[in-house]
Structures are given as C-alpha cells and as structure tokens.
Amino acid sequence: MKRFFLRWILPLPLLFSIGLAVAGGDVWAQNTYDITPKADVKMAFYMKQWQGKPSLHLELRVKNLSDQPERFKAYFDLVDGPSVVAYIPIEGKPPVVQPKAEFTWTYPLYYGSFPKGFDFKIEVVPYE
C-alpha cells in the first residue's frame, strides 16, 4: 500500500501542475519562448510553502545539446508578477553544463498563485 502511494498518488500534484503548463487555456494565455538551439528545456510549475507563505515555484531542467561545455542564462518573467534571472549552472570551476549533461534547479518566484502568462528566454553566455 505504501509503495502504491509513493509511486502513484504522491506524484499527482506535480503531474497536475505540468498539465496546467502544457494544456494552456485561459490560465496560460500569454506565453512567449526564446530558447537557444543549444539547450533542451523542460519546466514544471507548482505551489509550495516558501518563507511561511504559499509561493509559485519553477522547476527548470536544462540539457546542453552542444558538443562543448556551455553556461546558460535564463530569464523568466511573469506577465502579472515578479521576474527571475538565473545563470545555469550556479557554481563550478568553470561554471558550465558539460556536453549532453543536464542541470535541474527549483526557483521560488515569491508569487501566491498561477500567473496569467509568462515570458521565457534562455541563451548561451560566456563563462570565462
């Protein structure tokens, strides 16, 4: 029973949030994307407590598709809320995502509900 719960019931909120992001509709009516061809990006959104308040979280997975190490810069701007700018990866010497490797991180957005839309951009930046 515990195994059933962990495997099937526990992931439902995450799947629901991904479904909202993919399905669109009125909730995600105003989205723009600008993604470098050197990256494969997957995003998930969910609500979670952050500093004592419910807050929107963005889970971002970036895969380096190029044949050389790369550092990325991601811009995430809610249409009716805050923005996040993140260097990917955050640390390392040098701070790069190796070829064909993935980097995953979760960003709290200090926003108490799902937004009406968002703008997302990811680009390659120099790391030296």
CA–CA separation, 14 vs 19, rounded Å? Answer: 8
pTM greater than the 0.75 cutoff: no
51-86 confidence digits (pLDDT tens): 888 888 889 899 999 999 999 999 988 888 888 898
- Domain assignment of residue 12, given as a range: 2-125
Q: What is the pLDDT of residues 8-49, one digit of tens each?
A: 554 545 444 444 444 444 445 578 888 899 999 998 888 888
> What distance lies between CA 59 and its chain's CA centroid?
4
Residue with tokens 């308040």: 53
Is residue 80 within 8 A of residue 90, CB to CB? The reply is no
- Cis peptide before 13, with omega less than 30 degrees from 0? no
- Total number of domains in the chain: 1
| CATH number of the domain residue 17 falls in | 2.60.40
